[in-house]
């Protein structure tokens, strides 16, 4: 563990220029750091908060050298960055999270192997490459199932729901070139995420669990506190701590979990997915927590003391997604949305709108999570698109 903190005045490099990079960059700037964003294109949400934007494709050698030249420390907003680039960068600058963390979390099969080794429960699953594997998975694990690409899937992309034998026909051809995970569909009671920060000094802080609702594989709504028992909360935290220690991660870690009814009564916690970064379900920490996930990540990677993760207020967050492809879009209903008490609107400045693209989010605070959910839904419902 490095003992010397990277102090404000230094410049932080962020791999990735999406909304997570934008909010991370804002937190870094308010702590007094310079920010270089390797956006990979000209139209990235994080471009406006950066002192410097790199537009070369990720993995490009010239971009790698430029980032090394201009930054004191490198972090990322997105785990699917080339691990080889992080290997090269980390020979010259501290890079958090490390390439070894990326190699595990970029691959659902490697991630699953880690969870198995730690004895952490997950949905029954089988690795699939060929038509023969597919048949074995169907026999061994059964239907209904979720078949997911081992690498690169996100927000429901690279993922197929197979409920019947006929629906097997909708799967891509298993020709041995691509790896997939055939996963039993879990009849969960609810979904939660546990966000944890681990600093380069080894200090760990865990946020209370957030409860998430997805539609079509994309996060729709997060509420906190989650409707779980203290026992489930304790178990989920224990899992997150053991994953963070096993990975030796530095920065934020998100553990997405299913809460399932246990055969003998009570509940079990199964892990669905790991993300070695800040997470959409943590956006409400900006207003609802003592320390936002973005500030916490910056503190963690820079080796500064971590902030309190206490919830200041019950809260809810609803994502604002694009409805259909539009060249130019005008958001309507902003005054109406902001007239809902204790409501905050975050827009990511995305130029191009596509169906289901994340364009912003609404967070509402209230005396109870139910009231916060009602406020967030009301504010979100006032928003629309024109053009």
Report the interface residues with ligand AMP, using CB under 6 A: 123, 146, 148, 153, 156, 159, 183, 185-186, 191, 214, 217, 256, 272-273
Computed from CA positions of residues 229, 231, 234, 237, in that sequence, does the dihedral angle turn out positive or negative? Answer: negative
Q: Give whichever of 148 and 267 is closer to ligand AMP, judged by the CB atom.
A: 148
Backbone φ, ψ for residue 8 (5° rounding) = -50, 145
Residue carrying structure tokens 């701590």: 241
CB of 171 to ligand AMP, least distance (A): 15
Under 8 Å between Cβ of 35 and 14: yes
Instruction: State the minimum distance, in angstroms, from the CB of residue 115 to ligand AMP.
Output: 13
Angle at 337 between CA 333 and CA 339, to 5 degrees: 120
The two three-digit tokens of residue 268, written as one number:
């079990």
CB of 351 to ligand AMP, least distance (A): 26
Identity of the residue, 59 or 156, whose beta carbon is nearer to ligand AMP in the bound complex: 156
Least separation, in Å, of the C-beta of 117 and ligand AMP? Answer: 20
Query: Which one, 33 or 270, has the nearer CB to ligand AMP?
Result: 270
Sign of CA dihedral 55, 58, 63, 66: positive
Q: What is the spatial distance between Cα 265 and Cα 278, in angstroms, rounded to a whole number?
A: 33
- Closer Cβ to ligand AMP, 36 or 247, answer by number: 247
Give me the least distance between CB of 320 and ligand AMP, in Å please: 19
Please identify, using beta-carbon distances, which residue of 196 and 301 lies nearer to ligand AMP: 196
Cβ neighbour number for residue 88 with a 10 Å cutoff: 18
Q: How far is the CB of 87 from ligand AMP (least distance, A)?
A: 26
What end-to-end distance do the CA atoms of the chain give, in Å? 52
Residue nearer to ligand AMP on the CB measure, 123 or 244? 123
Residue identified by tokens 């936002």 is: 292
Give me the residues paired with residue 219 across strands.
214
Closest CA to 86 of 251, 201, 246, 202: 251
- Nearer to ligand AMP by Cβ, of 197 and 255: the residue is 255
Shortest reach from residue 376's CB to ligand AMP, in Å: 19
Residue 229 backbone class (left: φ over 0; alpha: ψ -120 to 50; beta: rest):
beta
Element (H, E) at 159: strand 159-162
| Minimum gap (Å) between residue 161 Cβ and ligand AMP | 8
CB 385 within 8 A of CB 323: yes
Instruction: Please state the three-class secondary structure of 71-114 as a single string.
Output: CCEEEECCCCCCHHHHHHHHCCCCEECCHHHHHHHCEHHHHHHH
Q: Between residues 273 and 336, which has the closer beta carbon with respect to ligand AMP?
A: 273
- Judged by beta carbon, residue 8 or residue 124, the one nearer ligand AMP is 124
We find the least distance from the C-beta atom of residue 253 to ligand AMP, in angstroms, to be: 15
**Distance between CA 384 and CA 332 in Å, rounded?**
5
* R_g of the chain, CA atoms, integer Å: 21
């Amino acid at each position: 563990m490095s003992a010397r903190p990277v102090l404000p005045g230094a410049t932080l490099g962020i791999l990735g220029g999406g909304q997570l990079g934008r909010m991370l960059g804002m937190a870094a700037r308010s702590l007094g750091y310079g920010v270089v964003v390797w956006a990979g294109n000209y139209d990235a949400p994080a471009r406006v908060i950066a002192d410097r934007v790199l537009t070369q494709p990720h993995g490009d050698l010239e971009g790698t050298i430029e980032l090394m030249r201009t930054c004191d420390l490198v972090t990322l907003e997105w785990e699917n960055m080339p691990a080889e680039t992080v290997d090269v960068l980390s020979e010259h600058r501290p890079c958090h999270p490390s390439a070894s963390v990326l190699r595990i979390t970029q691959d659902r099969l490697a991630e699953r192997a880690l969870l198995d080794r730690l004895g952490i429960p997950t949905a029954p699953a089988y690795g699939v490459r060929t038509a023969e594997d597919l048949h074995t998975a169907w026999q061994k694990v059964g239907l209904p199932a979720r078949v997911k690409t081992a690498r690169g899937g996100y927000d429901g992309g690279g993922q197929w729901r197979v409920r019947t034998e006929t629906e097997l026909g909708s799967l891509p051809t298993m020709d041995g070139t691509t790896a997939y995970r055939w996963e039993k569909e879990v009849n969960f009671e609810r979904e939660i995420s546990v966000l944890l920060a681990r600093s380069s000094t080894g200090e760990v802080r865990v946020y209370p669990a957030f409860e998430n609702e997805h539609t079509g594989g994309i996060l729709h709504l997060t509420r906190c506190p989650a409707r779980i028992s203290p026992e489930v909360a304790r178990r989920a935290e224990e899992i997150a701590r053991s994953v963070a220690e096993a990975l030796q991660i530095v920065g934020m870690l998100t553990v997405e979990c299913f809460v399932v009814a246990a055969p003998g009564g009570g509940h079990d916690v199964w892990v669905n997915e790991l993300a070695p970064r800040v997470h959409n379900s943590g956006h409400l920490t900006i207003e609802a927590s003592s320390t936002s996930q973005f500030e916490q990540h910056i503190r963690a990677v820079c080796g500064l003391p971590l902030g309190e993760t206490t919830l200041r207020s019950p809260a809810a967050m609803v994502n604002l997604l694009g409805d259909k492809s539009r060249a130019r879009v005008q958001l309507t209903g902003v005054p109406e949305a902001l007239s809902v008490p204790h409501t905050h609107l975050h827009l990511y400045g995305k130029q191009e709108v596509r169906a289901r693209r994340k364009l912003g989010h609404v967070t509402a605070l209230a005396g109870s999570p139910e009231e916060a959910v009602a406020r967030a839904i009301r504010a979100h419902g006032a928003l629309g698109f024109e053009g």
